[in-house]
Amino acid sequence: MEQEILFDTHHSKQEKQAAIVPQVKALVQGETNLIANLANIAAVLKTVFDYYWVGFYIKEVEGLVLGPFQGPVACTRIGKGKGVCGKCVELKQAIIVPNVNEFEGHIACSSATQSEIVVPVIKNNQVRMIIDVDSLTLADFDQEDQVFLEKIAEIIANSL
């Protein structure tokens, strides 16, 4: 089923977040292909919020492997426990990094990235993948972004 995501660029971040959650839920409803769902969700997040980079890293035994994303070329694999993404998997919780240059062990897939938020997608108490969002602006993410992306992560987890 084709679905168009509707949003008004004049709305605040909070208004966009509130409007997008039910639309993403409807977008993935009934679609069983994970790659298709992740690709569409990455496109929605990139289009609506104009993130520098947004995508998914899928958990494997040895670490994380790149999934669908929107933005410049990214690191293909992230070793177990490495960088912000690996730390997110270890902690099983979201991480907001106001300045990536101050995060010990940060993996710079792009030197342009200044801040980052990473949110785990958890099913049956296991991290299955993470949502990774990068910004060109320092301290671009806050608790509202975390709560929003955790809702998106829950939608994904429920579709697994």
pLDDT digits (tens, 9 = 90+) for 51-98: 999 999 999 999 999 999 999 999 999 999 899 999 999 999 999 999
Q: Decide: residue 151, CB within 10 A, 0-12 exposed, 13-18 middle, 19+ buried.
A: middle
Task: Assess contact for 55 and 67: CB atoms under 8 A.
Answer: yes
- CB burial of 88-122 (b: ≥16 within 10 Å; e: otherwise) equals bbeeeebbbbbebeebeebeebbeebbbbbbbbbb
- Is the pLDDT confidence value at 10 over 90? no
Fold (CATH) for 13-159: Beta-Lactamase (3.30.450)
Confidence at 105, pLDDT banded by 50, 70, 90: confident
> What is the CA 159 to chain-centroid distance, rounded?
16
- What's residue 4's pLDDT? 58
- How does residue 3 score in pLDDT terms, banded at 50, 70 and 90? low
Closest CA to 80 of 95, 62, 97: 62
What residues have CB less than 8 Å from 145, skipping those under 6 apart?
13, 17, 96, 117, 133
List helix spans (H) across 7-110. 13-28, 34-49, 83-91
Per-domain residue ranges for the chain?
13-159
Rounded to an integer, the average pLDDT of 118-147 is 97
Task: Supply the pLDDT for residue 51.
Answer: 95
Angstrom distance (rounded) from CA 37 to CA 70: 13
Give residue 112's pLDDT band: very low, low, confident or very high (50, 70, 90): confident
pLDDT of the residue at 108: 72
36-49: average pLDDT: 96
Give the distance from CA 63 to its chain's centroid: 17
Q: What is the pLDDT of residue 1?
A: 44
Q: Which two tokens stand for residue 19?
A: 């409007």
Question: What pLDDT sits at residue 5?
Answer: 60
pTM listed for this prediction = 0.92
**Tokens 């955790």, residue?**
150
- The Cα 3–Cα 119 span in angstroms is 25
Mean local confidence (pLDDT), 24-41: 95
